[in-house]
Chains A and B, each alone.
Chain A
């Protein structure tokens, strides 16, 4: 694949920075943009999820006793983890978009593709963890658990539940897109870009 003769030093330079003439991968860029929008919207919607409701708990004489209850995402560690995981996933997506557009000259012994693949994998794993925890927590809030005598909360705080499920759906879409991107970056590792090789032949 790489001729070892020293007559053409430009060929060696070309191999160490093959991305100098690589065309931008528009499909990958578009996918990363979509994933960034999905994870960022999931983070923001869940982070701003808050509902306050005044409930009548008991009646003393003629006066109803009112209690103000607030449902915030910070009350549940699963949702906190969800916000943090999706925040890190959107940061990773933004970083990858910036690297795709601007960072083609930065390469070190071809490790760039490997680092991208490994970071993609870590982000997929983290985002799937956050999604799993938040899904089952939301299911618990929606249906309750009769065996443990945990009441459902979605009948009282329906806006909270609606926003939460919207954030969950956005996060799942982002996770699926991230998985596709990850598979694409791993296949890029196995099969190097043929456009770079075509430039090698005189």
Chain B
């Protein structure tokens, strides 16, 4: 029973590492060049600070996820892992909501501010950004589930002692 739990946790952390890594890589390689009214328009992720923040945040969290995968199960560092999980989940959610906000402006524009949507001119770039955002969202959900599980895990021994 304990072994299945440990295997399940390991699988979840592996999935989380995979999704954050793929989100960072897909966003970093999104690049498209096109001609718009005889003006060369180039769309890269580094044009927008929100997308740069998204790549950096997902890179940091995937490095952390890789390190935690190799942690031995009986180590004392698991308390630190719970605390760091909270911080990194917070980082992930803020990065994905920032990237989502800017991507929404890119797709729909903002008529009140006079901002035109750009997805019509660079559709491949928009699709790649969409894919990166979906992967990032999956990473956020998995990290939230892991965090809830950590709290439940810490709580269970306490419940056993009190009853």
Residues of A at under 8 Å CB distance from B? Answer: 1-2, 15-16, 69-72, 75-78, 81, 109-110, 114, 117-118, 121, 124-126, 128-137, 139-141, 145, 147-151, 153, 179, 182-183, 186, 189-190, 192
On whether the beta carbons of B151 and A137 are closer than 8 Å, the reply is: no
Chain A residues near B104 (CB, 8 Å)? 77-78
On whether the beta carbons of A109 and B162 are closer than 8 Å, the reply is: yes
Chain B residues near A150 (CB, 8 Å)? 105, 113, 115-116
What are 6 inter-chain pairs, A to B, with CB distance below 8 A?
A: A75-B112, A114-B152, A129-B93, A137-B102, A147-B43, A179-B86
Q: Mark B37-53, 1 if CB is under 8 A from A, else 0.
A: 00001111001111001
Q: For the complex formed, measure the closest distance between the CB of A78 and the CB atoms of chain B, giving whole angstroms.
A: 4
On whether the beta carbons of A16 and B86 are closer than 8 Å, the reply is: no
On whether the beta carbons of A192 and B94 are closer than 8 Å, the reply is: no
On whether the beta carbons of B94 and A128 are closer than 8 Å, the reply is: yes
Chain B residues near A128 (CB, 8 Å)? 90-91, 93-94
Whole-angstrom distance between the alpha carbons of A171 and B124 in the complex?
36
- In the A-B complex, the 10 residue pairs with the closest CB atoms: A132-B94, A78-B101, A129-B97, A133-B101, A136-B50, A147-B47, A75-B112, A132-B98, A136-B98, A133-B97
Q: Mark B143-163, 1 if CB is under 8 A from A, else 0.
A: 010011001101100110111
- Evaluate whether A179 and B90 lie within 8 angstroms (CB atoms) in the complex, with A109-B159, A110-B162 already known: yes
* B interface secondary structure, majority: helix
B100 at the interface (CB under 8 A from A): yes
On whether the beta carbons of A141 and B113 are closer than 8 Å, the reply is: yes
B106 at the interface (CB under 8 A from A): yes
Whole-angstrom distance between the alpha carbons of A78 and B108 in the complex?
13
On whether the beta carbons of B102 and A140 are closer than 8 Å, the reply is: yes
Q: For the complex formed, measure the closest distance between the CB of B147 and the CB atoms of chain A, giving whole angstroms.
A: 6
Chain B residues near A72 (CB, 8 Å)? 112
Chain B residues near A77 (CB, 8 Å)? 101, 104
On whether the beta carbons of A148 and B106 are closer than 8 Å, the reply is: yes
On whether the beta carbons of B162 and A125 are closer than 8 Å, the reply is: no
State which of A71, A125, A189 has its C-beta within 8 Å of the C-beta of B144: A125
B89 at the interface (CB under 8 A from A): yes
Whole-angstrom distance between the alpha carbons of A156 and B12 in the complex?
49
Q: For the complex formed, measure the closest distance between the CB of A58 and the CB atoms of chain B, giving whole angstroms.
A: 15
- Closest residue of chain B to A182 (Cβ to Cβ) is B86
